Structure 1
Amino acid sequence: MLRAVLLTALAPIVWGSVYLVTTEFLPPGRPLLAGALRALPVGLLIVAAYGRLPAGAWWGRAFVLGQLHIGVFFALLFFAAYRLPGGIAATIIAMQPLFVALLGWALHGHRPSLVTVGAALSGIAGVGLIVLRPEAALDAWGVAAAFGAALCMAAGTVYASRWPSPVPLLLSTGWQLVAGGLLLIVLALSLEGLPSTLSAANVGGFVYLGVVATGLAYLLWFRGIRQLGVSVSFLVLLSPTAALLLGYFLRDERLGVVQLLGVAIVVASVAAGQWDGSRRSRQALLG
């Protein structure tokens, strides 16, 4: 169980590096293109390697999961990033665990425990302490997009748990990457166009985003959902924490006392959420 949790935790930690890679290595002003190149090439490689397409109901399921986890999620995320300070967008999207608990209750009758709700709210508060700034301004459309992004990922987590894949996990991940990436590439070409040149650093950044931050990270994430259930959603709170720590060590962005307190609260809430999920799973197995 601990090994599965640690492996799953690598996914949001890697996602926390995406902001640093984007600002330091990618061409500016191409967020949708970055999202498309994160998803589509690695997805096509995976599907081509297996040489197998979805069958039956999985055409629709792969499309739905691909949009929730990749396509619509990335589009809303980038829209929010343009209209909100990054800290506020990250805090709103960190509400995903609470949305997972509420959607699980609404769709499947899985009533969340007080510990689960408390851990979700505490984690959100911790992320707020880490990333919010007094001068941050709110944009209504940006806030709506960030909430939509959190809801998309939460719904994807719930449905991925409900629809266990009949094929190897890597293949089902490839289907979702292709489904979401196709939407993103259409949006990118329509709204942004292609950059005139790409440097070696740009290419390296795109490769990292596609192979590590998408292919490997989503494989670990979906594997965690399959093994641990929707309780893994609490681990997404590690993403903004990882982003902050990377900034501290690699960009000399100093941590204040309030931010350190936020990191501690996030770690504690993740631990509490995982403990409660494991406890309830054991109780269900024991009857």
Structure 2
Amino acid sequence: MENRSQAPLIFAAFFAIYVIWGSTYLLNKVAVDELPPFLLAGIRFVIAGVLIFGIAALMGKKLGITRRQLLNTGLAGFLFLSFGNGMVVWALKFVDTNFAALIIAAQPLLVMLLMWLLQGHRLRPISLVGVALGILGIYLLVSQDATTRHPDAWIGILMIFAAMVAWAYGSLFVGKADLPGNSFVNTGYQMLMGGGMLLVMSLCFREPLSNPLEWQADTLWAMLLLILFGSIVAFTAFNFLLKVVSPEKVSTNTYVNPIVAMLLGWYFLDEPITLQSVVAALVLLTGVYFISTKHKTISLRRFRRSRVAR
């Protein structure tokens, strides 16, 4: 339950999912140029999970969980990491980082639609306006030539949309599921199980193995930053926020992530920022704003009731 004493932690957690996650598009793009996507993500999350368990043990946290919690963390790890993150990393082989981040900005739209389909939430007129603007923004984004300059760009687009559905459902699932109470322990199990599934996926897709001692310096730095900040710091903050605020409020990181990703992609990777992309971003984020703000109070009240009942 959200309270005033947690305000500094909530502020820091939002900074992590806003800014740090915005930079992970660049880091994944750098690393996936050398490493296959599932192997990259699997190594990242398994190492991060081991480190998180070490931190939790040093803090004196109990690592034991119930069988139900183990199953729930496994499902969350699959939705968020194995499928959700794995698909996005793979998609970055076909699309630019700024494009991927802008598409994912529509995440609150999917959260709202799933809340309507699965939980019976009523769609208000202003939300329907947000949906229309979101669809228009996505169309403006994907219809420009700069977006589809890679011959397999549409494969990347479909992967990103599939990942978004997984993340949207995972956000609703985690908000109500029986999970470990400590954020470090919860994140550690999700990382280990999600990363383990990614390594199995890597074997199934016969991705080539890679010796870390032979990686380029840029790849090593990208992996290190992804593990320490993108995984441990930001994902722990993400799980913490899902337990203290509403799912739609957490998904507002998509307001800031695209801006961070666009600027970093332009500065470090020379990715173009077209006028149509800027217009698409404004239209899309305006739609997301309409969607999120109208449901914030109602959803937070519902979310509080569900936590008290549990």
Same fold by TM (over 0.5)? Answer: yes
Structure 2: which amino acid aligns with 1:55? Answer: T
Structure 2 segments unaligned to the other structure (5+ residues): 58-62, 306-310
Instruction: Give yes or no for the alignment of 1:227 onto 2:233.
Output: no
Instruction: Check conservation: 1:238, 1:266, Cα contact below 8 A.
Output: no
> Separation in 2 of the partners of 1:201 and 1:84?
20
Aligned to 2:163: 149
Deviation at 1:209, TM superposition (A): 0.4
Q: Which moved more, 1:253-262 or 1:180-189?
A: 253-262
Instruction: Check conservation: 1:12, 1:235, Cα contact below 8 A.
Output: yes
- Tell me which of 41, 50, 60 is aligned to 2:56: 50
Deviation at 1:266, TM superposition (A): 4.9
> Separation in 2 of the partners of 1:263 and 1:238?
11
Instruction: Give yes or no for the alignment of 1:119 onto 2:124.
Output: no
> Separation in 2 of the partners of 1:75 and 1:9?
23
What secondary structure is seen at the aligned counterpart in 1 of 2:251? helix
What secondary structure is seen at the aligned counterpart in 2 of 1:110? coil
> Separation in 2 of the partners of 1:169 and 1:134?
43
Q: Which moved more, 1:262-271 or 1:168-177?
A: 262-271
Instruction: Give yes or no for the alignment of 1:278 onto 2:284.
Output: no
Q: Which moved more, 1:63-72 or 1:235-244?
A: 235-244
Q: Which moved more, 1:153-162 or 1:236-245?
A: 236-245
Identity %: 22
Q: Which moved more, 1:81-90 or 1:99-108?
A: 81-90
Q: Which moved more, 1:56-65 or 1:94-103?
A: 94-103
Instruction: Check conservation: 1:131, 1:259, Cα contact below 8 A.
Output: no
Q: Could you say if the C-alpha distance between residues 216 and 101 of structure 1 is closer, same or farther in structure 2, counting changes exceeding 3 Å? A: same
Aligned to 1:69: 80
Instruction: Give yes or no for the alignment of 1:193 onto 2:213.
Output: no
Deviation at 1:246, TM superposition (A): 1.7
Instruction: Give yes or no for the alignment of 1:165 onto 2:179.
Output: yes
Instruction: Give yes or no for the alignment of 1:238 onto 2:249.
Output: no
What's the C-alpha RMSD, in Å, of the aligned pairs? Answer: 3.4
Aligned to 1:102: 113
Deviation at 1:227, TM superposition (A): 1.9
> Separation in 2 of the partners of 1:242 and 1:123?
20
Instruction: Give yes or no for the alignment of 1:216 onto 2:251.
Output: no
Q: Could you say if the C-alpha distance between residues 178 and 113 of structure 1 is closer, same or farther in structure 2, counting changes exceeding 3 Å? A: farther
Q: Which moved more, 1:181-190 or 1:33-42?
A: 181-190
Instruction: Check conservation: 2:109, 2:291, Cα contact below 8 A.
Output: no
Deviations 1:188-218 (A, max 9, x none): 3542211471244432221100111111111
What secondary structure is seen at the aligned counterpart in 1 of 2:67? coil
Instruction: Check conservation: 2:109, 2:288, Cα contact below 8 A.
Output: no
Instruction: Check conservation: 2:79, 2:170, Cα contact below 8 A.
Output: yes
Structure 1 segments unaligned to the other structure (5+ residues): none
What secondary structure is seen at the aligned counterpart in 1 of 2:121? coil
> Separation in 1 of the partners of 2:220 and 2:231?
15
Q: How many residues align?
A: 286
Deviation at 1:239, TM superposition (A): 2.4
Give me the TM-score of the superposition, normalised by structure 2: 0.76
Deviation at 1:268, TM superposition (A): 3.9
> Separation in 2 of the partners of 1:154 and 1:26?
24
Deviation at 1:230, TM superposition (A): 1.4
